[in-house]
A = this chain, B = another copy of it.
Amino acid sequence: MTKQTIDSNLSLAILGLLSMRSMSGYGLRKVFLTTAMKAFSASPGAIYPALQRLERTGLTEGTIEKKNTLRPRMVYHLTRQGRAALVEALTRPITREDVIRRMDGLLLRFSFMSGLVGIDKMHEFMRALAAETEGYLEVIECELREFGPGLPLSGRAALELGVDSFRTTARWAKKTLAELKRHRTAKGE
């Protein structure tokens, strides 16, 4: 049995939601449509194929509910391998590339950690995230100082939002790290 990997943010989001409670494809769509996870595609053309892939690779299993009625529903739940693959994906090391090009995926990973991984793993994740974010922040702050004055208004403004965004993320990461630290010492004693 080859090691299963999770092929996209959408699949990761589906697994994460299923780790909290079993749901049908339509249920998942409603979550994506109505909650703060609106950044995800709620189109059937994305969700149903993703569910099929997850079931084919053994990460989820669907059971038919309301068998007797004329409108059955496929309710999916995580398998043991599914939970293991999810935990593996959540705790994978963070790279600079992740911070630059896949921050949304990092945030998604963190958002599902409670209950799936221990507080030490969460702490380590956030420590690395804070470090990489601050490291990259220095890089683009430098770029803004160097090139900003020579850029036209709109280009400079765009660059400034980039810097502001990473600053916001870095601040949040440090704040969250402190929160995790408090939780950890509270439990440690």
Taking beta carbons and an 8 Å cutoff, which residues of A are in contact with B?
A: 35-36, 38-39, 100-101, 107-108, 110-115, 122, 140, 143-144, 147, 152-155, 157-162, 164-165, 167-169, 171-172, 176, 179-180, 183
Contacts and interface: CB of A to CB of B under 8 A. Distances in A.
Contacts of A108: 158
Given A107-B161, A108-B158, 20 more contacts: A35-B147, A36-B159, A36-B162, A39-B100, A107-B158, A107-B162, A110-B158, A111-B154, A111-B155, A111-B158, A112-B154, A113-B154, A115-B152, A122-B154, A153-B179, A153-B180, A157-B172, A160-B172, A161-B169, A164-B168
5 contacts: A35-B143, A35-B147, A39-B100, A107-B158, A161-B168
Question: Copies per complex?
Answer: 2
A148 to B, nearest CB: 10
A68 B185 CA distance: 71
A161 B167 CA distance: 12
A184 to B, nearest CB: 11
